[in-house]
Amino acid sequence: MSANSKILDVIACPLCKGKLHYDKNAQELICNFDKLAFPIKQGVPVMIVEQAKSIEPRHKKTSTDK
């Protein structure tokens, strides 16, 4: 995202209105509360819930996992 980092001070998750975190490698804005990743296309954040991808927490192995 080539936009000024100050955008993170004013942009929010469209669902919970919470703070977003920038993932430079994936070019996404992440909402940890809703577990959504909003894509950044050509430097523009796409804040459409239907275009966000769900991010699941890492699976923890249990004693029943093989």
Could you read off the pLDDT of 38-60 as tens digits, one per residue?
A: 999 998 999 999 999 999 865 55
Q: What is the DSSP letter of 49?
A: G
Q: In the prediction, which pLDDT does 45 show?
A: 94
User: Is the model's pLDDT at 64 over the cut of 70?
Assistant: no
Run of H or E residues at 10: helix 7-10
Residues 25-34: pLDDT tens digits?
999 999 999 9
| 7-54: CATH number | 2.20.25.10
Q: How far is the C-alpha of 54 from the C-alpha of 66, rounded, in Å?
A: 25
Burial grade of 19 (CB within 10 A; 0-12, 13-18, 19 or more): middle
